[in-house]
Structure 1
Amino acid sequence: MTCFETATHAIHLMLSGLFDEYPDLTVILGHSGEGLPFTLPRVEHRLRHQRPETHGNHKKAPTEYLRNNFFLTTSGVFRTQALIDTLLEVGSDRILFSVDYPYETMEEISSWFAQCPISETDRYKIGTENAAKLFQFNQ
């Protein structure tokens, strides 16, 4: 499945009303959310210009679901600008450090992540704390 297909499936979930019915449901998307932090504003713009009955049963804007029901990983996208944009769109509490092995090496991506111009607080959240909370490690 390509990132575009995965992103399309995620948008279908958002528009279906699933997250309104199950507000605690969490989905993890790789590759910086399959590009959704960059494309959802356009989707929302188009939805505003369509009749409401044509785009599903959702009660909130898709970006709200992305920020509340999804975790996005860094896998496959080790570009600083993309990480910063993802941080601005969803916040550091919703991002997980990840390596797209075997297509990337831990050494290469860890080195990139260590050099990213983000706060040490965000680096710790993304690199350790968020996964520990999500998967209930050490509890």
Structure 2
Amino acid sequence: MMSDSWFPRLNSMARDPALEITERFDALIDEYFLVFSNPESSAFAFEVLTLAESEPFAARIVFDLEQRYTQLIATMVEQMNHTLSQGERWLRASLIVAHAGGLLVFCRLSNKTEAEMVNLKHSTRELWSALCLAPR
């Protein structure tokens, strides 16, 4: 399954000691756009989400992946902004994960040009970084 190979790769990127936290965060965004702008992987993600609506086993997989992804992002938020409480870090990570889900839909269903996707990725980077760095 895609999550079996994709999440460990994201986790490895997020924890790479050779990179600064902002570089790791940027790498995560780059990977997200690479995977979900790909027609095959975005179609697979849609199929899994659809299956999760009717099959409890798939719903558990999606829930688990969402929780792991949110925790990964919350850890990165903490490294970027030490002043936030655990609850605030989790909330901001949840907002990023929710936005990522919306981007999956948008990237999958739109016919954006490569230049438009580059602009979208740039704006996403600015938005997510601002969310991480904003004071309480």
TM-score normalised per structure 2: 0.32
The higher radius of gyration belongs to 1
> Which structure shows the bigger proportion of residues in helix conformation?
2
The structure where strand makes up a greater share of residues is: 1
Instruction: State TM-score, norm by structure 1.
Output: 0.31
